[in-house]
Structure formats: structure tokens, C-alpha cells
Structure 1
Amino acid sequence: MLTAAVAVQATDIHLMPKANGYLMKMRSGGVLSKSESFSIREGERLIAYLKFTASMDIGEKRKPQSGSFRQIVNGLPLSLRISTLPAVPHKESLVIRILPQEHVPHLSELTLFPYSASKLTALLAQPTGLILLSGPTGSGKSTTLYSMVQHCASVLNKHVITLEDPVEKQQDAFVQIQVNEKAGITYATGLKAILRHDPDVIMVGEIRDEETARAAVKSALTGHLVLSTIHARDSAGVIGRLVELGVSRHEIHQTITGITAQRLVRLCCPSCGSVCQPDCTQETRQAIVCELLAGEELLRAVKEVTGHSEGERRQTLKNELRKGVAYGFIASEEWTRWHAGEADISQKQR
């Protein structure tokens, strides 16, 4: 199963319970593949094995659980993040997030347009502040975050400490701390301890709640550069999200130096002329398209709290995608898929 997932560059494997068995689907390039079926006995044994390997309680099926373990597949080291959910009737749904552990690429290799990488690199040269990356699940935020941290440690020669739950990519260039609530290491307590360890740059895996948000802002106020991710629809929406989490306008104005919103898009295949077809032998290539809120535009958005109107801010990311299609980097099918997804989100919000 893992060998097949690596072959198609899958990011997630889903094991979903059905009445007479289990279905397996793989997400590759943001799209779920056709499902394969398992018997109930095979599915339950597979889930039990994965839970045991990830140090989870195999006898507990009534509560959600999460864990992780490392595996080498075809010579490629992988970190596998396991998550389970109780499902009806008396079964479990399991998802495997596949995190390759190879060298983190430079920002210029991740972004579709070179100027996006240049702007992000310029933000990292600042000694203090808070840089937040936003975007939906699977948009490449973690990879971008690791690339930025790697740049700080290797190129700028700064002392970097990360606080993650879980540690997704193990790197030797900086100190990584795993959140462990049972041992008393939460995001808040971990950040307090990190501040006494003389860091130049602090990376927080994700701002999820009010406690983490306030701890990240406080770290930035003490004269450190803090990098993190947060879930918001666009870059201006991050400001409103922070306000919801209890961060004051003054703290936002004093700490935030840059906000990005990004999407992961599939690039045109040189053989197919558009999105890679299932029988194509070429490797599916993806790149990040992002909008950046910084400088005077960031100051205006902070003063207005909610930033520019939604239509104006969304237009920025939309223009970046249109530019990619016009230059022939992004297939028109990918633009149609993204646009349909955005229209569906707007309809649900209304």
C-alpha cells in the first residue's frame, strides 16, 4: 500500500469503513483516486497494525486517536502521521498523512514565480516579528514553513528552535521539540521554555487556540522572529482570525511583519500538454502560488482590522493563478477545479 502511494506521490491514504468492508483511497495532487476495497477482517487487522506501530491504543475504538512512526519505502524515508475517528457501526476510519523526509527544497524551487520567493526571503532577514502562513489543508504550508526555517538556520546562521505537534520533518540544522501534553509540554509551556534557550527564530507548528496565539505574539514582542501557520481563507482574513483568538489590535500592529495565503497547483505536463494523465510516465509537478500581505498594505489592513474587502483580497490570489495560466505554467483544468472549489465555499458561506 505504501509502495503504491509513493509511486503516485500520494499525500494521504484514507481507509473508510463501509457496511461490508473497507474502502481505500489515495490523495495525489489534491485529487482522490479511485477506491480499492478490503474485507472487514483485512481492514480491521490493517488498522490495528497501524495503530500498534504508531504507539496508539489498539483496544480503544470510541475516541479519536493520533500517532506517528517512520518507515523506509523504496529507499525513501517517510514519516507517517496516523489519525483515527470512531465511525458507525462500531468501526474506525483511519487516515495516513505521508511526509517524505528528504531534503527540504529552497523557496525558489517551491514557488511558481521567483518574486514570491524573494519577498519571503526578505521577510526572514528581519530580526523580530511574526510571520504567518495561511491556506487550506494540503496547500503546502508545512513545506514552505520548513523551507523558511531551513533558510534561517543555514543561510542566515541563526539559532532556530521549533515547537511542533507532531514533528513532521526531522532536520539536523535546528532544534526540534515535540508537543507532549501528558508530559506537560504544551504550546504555551514549550514557548516559555524556548525563550530561555536563547533562540533567534522560533517556529510554531500551528496556531490553533487562544493560548497558542497569545504565546506566539508574546514571543514576537520579546524580540524574536516567530514563524507559524494558521487556518484562514486569505491573508487579510488572518487578522480577523487573530482578533477572534483574543489578540488585541495593538499587539497585532506591533508584531506582524508578513502574512501569506497560498495554494498548491499542478503544473502543465510536458507530455500531456495539460494536467498529467493517469497513464503518463512523467512525474506530476506542483508549485505554490501565494499572495503576500506586507509593508504599507499590511499596515492598512491591520488598522482596518478586517483588512480590505474580501473581493479585493481574493482578487490578488486569483490574479496570481490567472497569470500562471496565461504563461502556460498552469493547465486550464486546474484553474477550473480551483475556481469551482472557491465558488462552492462562497455558496456555503452565504
Structure 2
Amino acid sequence: MTIERTADLLISQAVRLNASDIHIIPRRQDYLIKLRIHGELANHGNLPPIAGERLISHLKFMASMDIGEKRKPQSGSWQTHISNTSVALRISTLPSTLYKESLVIRIFPQKHSLFLEKMSLFPNSIIKLISLMSHSHGMLIFTGPTGSGKTSTIYSLAEHCASELNRNIITLEDPVERQSDQFLQMQVNEKAGISYQTGLKAVLRHDPDMIFVGEIRDAETAEIAVRAAMTGHLVLTSMHTRNAEGAVYRLLEFGIKPLEIEQTLISVIAQRLVSLLCPFCGAKCSKYCASSDRIKRAAVFEMLEGERLETIIQGAGKSVVEHAQSLKRLIRKGIALGYISHEEYSRWIIQKHEEAASERSKLFSNQNQ
């Protein structure tokens, strides 16, 4: 089998199994291939050393990367068609020992976004999200760890606004994860001088009704996003914070004044993906399960808005009593209704502690600097 055929077969199998990532990991005797399916890594096979090296070189070539450079991390992307479906692939390499490389492929199927009513474990959450889209200006922040479905949620909401509310929508992303014909998409390109800051300034001059900013990463982006929300635009964006309250504290760290946050921030939506119990397999659903068409994961949303949001803005740094719609209580409700397993709750608790430890580590590092 040619190396081109091997690469096409691997990617097509990953797409068919709804994998989000392909890992090609070098070992002493071979290369291990793993797929991340519904948030869980699973072994998919292995390749001999020569075949593994040739596969990585072929994938780097397809992504317009330097094949000869194995000592530095690289990234690239390309788009292909699998079973008449357009798929965007983002490639990342990392140097390992003995001049071998590890390679990861992030898969972005360019299909239509999920139906809104099928995304959430609790339908009432989607009704609230859609109602937030009726605002003509302000800012909505989606928070959660990588892979929690923030971008998919924002895409689905943006397509709803474009088709149902006839809004002019412009996105600024790094990278553009899913192509859509319903709104204008702009990609961050640092080499061409298009950063989040310069791109957002240009977007504001293009008469948008709604702006989707991929992520607020620094003080300048936060300031421009807030300014856009204050000048008659609805801004949808994301942040990497542990919970909904953390987004407010992060804006304050970026130098945004409490009054500006109070005037612009409509809601903070913390999102997590939870695995649903399979009627055939139970808590651990096999990737070869006969119910493969069934939705195996759903989103749980915690929405910080109204009086509770105002209380946090005005008394930033003070603890707030856990409310009925917190992530912890919603996941417990899912367990009580039989949608979620107890193992999923334990996994979520562990992840929450790891995120808290990571934030404390970053804070300690910044203080030392």
C-alpha cells in the first residue's frame, strides 16, 4: 500500500468514527496511532518505523510544512474531501528524542452545524441561548476547556441569527474551523499583519450586526471587543476560564473597568460536554456500537446573567453562593434523570481540580515574574 493511500485511509477512518484528533506517536520499535473519539483517546494501530516516518513526511508536505526540519515545532493545514464531505485538517508537529517527531491532526468536518435543539442535555438552555441572540448590542462570552464545544455552539447560534434574524455576521478566527456560506469569515494571519487586534479594527469598519471573535487572549483584544459591544454590535467570543465567574475576573485583569463590563456584558456561558449513557453499552460505549448514529455527548450550559452577574461585577473577588443552574448541579440533575453516569461526574470533578491547579500554577508563575 502506498503512503498516500495509507494517509487517506487513516483520515477517512477517523472521520467515519467521528474522531476529533489523530495522534501519531514515535516509539523505539514503531509508531503508535491513537484517535480521540468523543473526548477519549483510543489505540488505533501502529506502523513500522520507516512507514511512520514516511507518513509524517507526507502529511507535512500536504500541509506545506518544511519536511527537512525535525528539530523545531511546526504547524500547517490543508483541506480535503472524504466521502464527498469537505474536511479541514490542522497539523502540528513536536520534536521528540532521536530526531523523531510526534504529529497530531485536528479534524474539522466542514458540515452544517448541529441542530440547536440536539446540542443541549436540557432543552431549556437552548431556549435561553436563542433568546440572548435577540440583543442588538452587547457581549456574550463562552467559557470552557479546549474541546468543550464552544466553537460549535457559537457557529450554530451565528447560523441561526443569519438565517432567522437576517443579521450581517463577520467572524475573526485563528484558524477558521468550519466554512459557512451564511456569514463572512476572516482568518488571523500574523505574517500578513492580521492579528486579532488589527483584524477586529477592520471588521468594525465593515458594517457588521454581529461579530464572532475567536478568543480574547490579551488586554488589547478585550478592549476592542468591549468597545465594539458599546458601539452597537453584538459580540460573541470565548475565553479559557475555569467557570463563568472567571471570565469577569479575567476582563478586570485585562484592565476593563467594572462599569464598562456592566454596560456591555450580557451573559457568560460556561459549557461542558458530558458523555451520555448508551442504551446498549452502558457507561462505556464502544466506538463500534450499533447505535453509532445516536448522539453520544451533549452540552451542559451554566449561564451567568442578570442580578447574579451584576453582583459578581460589583463585588469582584467575593465568593458567590452556588445557584441552581451551576454546572455541578446540572450534571447531578443529569445523573438523577439517568442520562449521565456517576463515572462521568467523577471525571468532571477531577478535571475541575486539574483546571484549578493549572490556574494556580499560572498565577504563581506570573507573580514570580
TM-score (norm 1): 0.93
Change (3 A) 1:93 1:210: farther
For residue 172 of structure 1, the aligned residue among 181, 186, 189 is 181
**Cα displacement string for residues 231-277 of structure 1 (whole angstroms, at most 9, x for unaligned residues):** 00000011112222332323222221110111111212122344413
Query: Could you say what secondary structure the match of 1:258 adopts?
Result: strand
For residue 288 of structure 1, the aligned residue among 272, 293, 299 is 299
For residue 312 of structure 1, the aligned residue among 322, 330, 334 is 322
Deviation (angstroms), 1:6: 2.1
Q: What is residue 4 of structure 2 aligned with on the other side?
A: none
The amino acid of 2:300's aligned partner reads V
2:159 equivalent to 1:143: no
Paired residues for 1:75-90 under 5 Å: 75-90=84-99
Q: Distance in 1 between matches of 2:71 and 2:263?
A: 45
Q: What is residue 19 of structure 1 aligned with on the other side?
A: 28
Deviation (angstroms), 1:135: 0.5
Deviation (angstroms), 1:85: 2.1
Q: Distance in 1 between matches of 2:318 and 2:154?
A: 24
Change (3 A) 1:89 1:303: farther
Q: Is the 8 A contact 1:276 1:282 kept in 2?
A: no
2:229 equivalent to 1:220: yes
RMSD over aligned CA atoms reads 2.1
For residue 260 of structure 2, the aligned residue among 245, 248, 251 is 251
Deviation (angstroms), 1:307: 6.0
Q: Is the 8 A contact 1:21 1:38 kept in 2?
A: yes
Q: What is residue 322 of structure 1 aligned with on the other side?
A: 332
For residue 332 of structure 1, the aligned residue among 314, 338, 342 is 342
Change (3 A) 1:149 1:50: same
Q: Is the 8 A contact 1:239 1:306 kept in 2?
A: no
Change (3 A) 1:162 1:125: same
Q: Distance in 1 between matches of 2:281 and 2:178?
A: 33
Q: What is residue 7 of structure 2 aligned with on the other side?
A: none
Paired residues for 1:1-350 under 5 Å: 1-34=10-43, 36-283=45-292, 285-306=296-317, 308-309=319-320, 312=322, 316-346=326-356, 349=360
Change (3 A) 1:272 1:19: closer
Q: What stretches of structure 2 of length at least 5 have no aligned partner?
A: 1-9, 362-369
The amino acid of 1:71's aligned partner reads T
Query: Could you say what secondary structure the match of 2:245 adopts?
Result: helix
Question: What is the aligned residue count?
Answer: 349
Deviation (angstroms), 1:343: 4.1
Q: Distance in 1 between matches of 2:247 and 2:317?
A: 9
The amino acid of 1:4's aligned partner reads Q
Query: Could you say what secondary structure the match of 2:180 adopts?
Result: coil
Q: What stretches of structure 1 of length at least 5 have no aligned partner?
A: none
Q: What is residue 5 of structure 2 aligned with on the other side?
A: none
Identity score, percent: 50
